Amino acid sequence: MELRVIEHEDDELSIEIGGEDHTFMNVLKGALLEIDGVAAATYDMNPEQSGGQTEPILTVKTEDGTEPLDAIEAAAGVVKEKVDDFTEAYESAA
């Protein structure tokens, strides 16, 4: 996974996440929307409508007092926790 910051402001961050597809991006976006202080989280990976870009671009908008990078870090922790819980449940069922 390669990350490249496209735009970074106090309340908005756009970051390209190389090597990922809809599966990961939907999970990350969903986790971001659960984080307090996140006003919006979207991603775009449609090259025809995005000037030929092929890697997904995640955009996070936050409310006052919430740093977008902190929100992404928190969302990544939520994703990791869910994956760990799933792995544990799967191994217990086997």
Q: What is the dihedral of CA 56, 62, 68, 73, to 10 degrees?
A: -90
pLDDT digits (tens, 9 = 90+) for 31-76: 999 999 999 999 998 756 666 667 899 999 999 899 999 999 999 9
pLDDT digits (tens, 9 = 90+) for 75-92: 999 999 999 999 999 999
CA distances to 61, 85, 88 from 43, in Å? 12, 26, 30
Token couple for 28:
């990350």
Query: 2-93: what CATH class?
Result: alpha beta
Cα 94 from Cα 92, distance rounded (Å): 6
CB 37, CB 66: distance < 8 Å: yes
Residue ranges covered by each domain of the chain: 2-93
